[in-house]
């Protein structure tokens, strides 16, 4: 039996994609844990940005919101949401973590509504916040999400944040910066990316003990598969120790196993 939970595996996997010296916009929860973990392990010069204005903090503990005072602790700057978005507009931000209730094969995200009738949806969700701005202007979108058919849908009921929209060239045709878009989707089953030619989602690595059929069964559209299909590395014991004792010692995100 593995000595880690699926959430711990997701966080450790996400942290590996954040290279030293990069800039990343994070919210609270698992994305923040992944960024903190990267900063404490392989990316000590990773710069964290928070939507409420914290730039480059050295987080002492897990913040409870993007406006938590800890998001400014020993930071490079205490500024505003407008300045954070302007930094993205200038092309200075490498990564942003985003999520939603639905994601489709082109990486479009929905955090607005369930149901196609905007005036009378089945469920009204929180909406965009800064997600559309971040997803439109940061270079690479990272998504951390559970993997099930309700989330991985053929077509989003509403596109809150653009992925590759309808496929190759669609982002650019909509006026979004060339070279930007979805990068990795890290779930409790696998790491998924996007095919360069078609911009469709593809399975790139399976988590230990997970089969490709399990991933397909919990996806509402046909997934591509990158060859050779890899296995997601299990978290190193030292990395788990840092995650549990320094990043999230109160188990807000990773739980108690």
- As annotated, the active-site residues are 51
Beta strand segments in 105-251, E: 109-110, 113-114, 123-124, 140-144, 181-186, 190-194, 201-206, 224-231
Start-end of H helices in the chain: 6-15, 30-40, 81-89, 131-137, 170-173, 212-217, 237-242
110 three-class SS? strand
End-to-end CA distance of the chain: 13
Alpha-carbon gap, residue 134 to 1, rounded angstroms: 39
How many other CB atoms are there within 10 angstroms of residue 173's CB atom?
10
């Amino acid at each position: 039996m593995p000595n880690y939970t699926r959430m711990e595996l997701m966080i450790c996997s996400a942290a590996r994609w954040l290279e030293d010296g990069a800039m990343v916009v994070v919210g609270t929860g698992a994305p923040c844990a992944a960024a903190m973990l990267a900063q404490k392990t392989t990316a000590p010069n990773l710069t964290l940005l928070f939507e409420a204005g914290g730039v480059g903090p050295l987080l002492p503990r897990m913040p409870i919101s993007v406006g938590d005072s800890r998001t400014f602790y020993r930071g490079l700057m205490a500024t505003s949401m407008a300045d954070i978005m302007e930094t993205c507009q200038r092309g200075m931000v490498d990564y942003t973590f985003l999520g939603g209730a639905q994601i489709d094969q082109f990486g479009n995200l929905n955090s607005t509504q369930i149901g196609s009738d905007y005036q009378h949806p089945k469920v009204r969700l929180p909406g965009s916040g800064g997600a559309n701005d971040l997803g439109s202007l940061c270079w690479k979108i990272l998504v951390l999400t559970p993997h099930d058919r309700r989330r991985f849908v053929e077509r989003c009921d509403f596109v809150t944040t653009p992925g590759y929209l309808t496929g190759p060239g669609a982002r650019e045709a909509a006026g979004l910066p060339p070279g930007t878009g979805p990068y990795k989707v890290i779930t409790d089953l696998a790491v998924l990316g996007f095919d360069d030619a078609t911009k469709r989602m593809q399975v790139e690595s399976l988590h230990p003990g997970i089969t490709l059929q399990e991933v397909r069964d919990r996806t509402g559209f046909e997934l591509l598969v990158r060859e050779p299909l890899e296995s997601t590395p299990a978290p190193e014991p030292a990395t788990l120790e840092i995650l549990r004792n320094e990043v999230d010692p109160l188990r807000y995100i990773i739980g108690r196993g």
